[in-house]
Structure 1
Amino acid sequence: MKKYIHVVEDNEDIRYIVEFFLSDYDYEVQLSANVKDFISSMQGPLPDLYLLDVMLPDGNGLEICKHIKTNERTKHTPVIIMSAHSNENEVRTEGCADDFISKPFDLHDLVARIEKHLHGHHS
């Protein structure tokens, strides 16, 4: 069964690269470009992991992260935050993400982190 990853990222190039790369690793990928897209996706099937960008045109990934972690259906789903702007401490003090990756990131590093959370994760 394919693992399903939801990527929230407003930069089209990054979205494309991440989707392309992850599907190479046999992941099923869903993409949202903003908070609005993300909210409407919550009605559908839930992913195994969320990959969230912090800076979004209509909000930010930390808000989405809080939303995921306070929602009964999704609170055990691992969340990786990616950001070029905020430092790791800020993300960790927000207290919601399971992991943090700073941009620009190495795609192999990204996959390694995703695998760690999907396969090494025991809640």
Structure 2
Amino acid sequence: MGKKIVVADDDPAILDIISIILEEEGYEVETSVTGESLMQVDGPLPDLYLVDIWMLGKDGRDICRHLKSHERTRHIPILIVSANRDIEKIARETGVDAYLAKPFEITELTDIIAKCLQ
């Protein structure tokens, strides 16, 4: 079994596409449409979180701050994705490990995930 990635995005089509791409790369993928499930830090944890910043329900920035402040999850890399032009600033403010601006190429996504998981 490959490394586990939890992907949170409020667009089911994007979740489907990212899941297909990552599964083809050998990763185990779990998805969340609201990001609420990422706030639960009990039980098995992923090797990486991929979080869209602008989601319905829970704000991606709050999710990232929560994960980085919690003892069990602070060591897990977080990659944020967003069409927001201030994504670099958001990444610094939330303490995430990497960011990717939408739209992005598949190779950009897979390369940055591989770097985060090294």
TM-score by length of 1: 0.89
Q: For 1:84-114, what per-residue CA distance to the aligned partner results, in whole angstroms no more than 9, with x for missing partners?
A: 1241332133141111101111111101000
Q: Which runs of 5+ in 2 are unaligned?
A: none
Q: Tell me the C-alpha RMSD between the 2 structures.
A: 1.4
Deviation track 1:39-75 (CA, whole Å, cap 9, x = no partner) reads 34x3331000000000110121111101110010010
Once residues 19 and 33 of structure 1 are traced to their aligned partners in structure 2, the CA distance between those partners, rounded to angstroms, is 13
| Runs of 4+ that moved beyond 3 A | none
Task: Find out whether 1:3 has 2:6 as its counterpart.
Answer: no
Contact 1:52 1:79 in 2 (8 A): yes
Give yes or no for the alignment of 1:113 onto 2:107: no
Structure 1: runs of 5+ lacking an equivalent: none
- Percentage of pairs with the same residue: 36
For residues 15 and 55 of structure 1, the distance between their equivalents in structure 2, rounded to whole angstroms, comes to: 14
Letter in 2 for 1:55: W
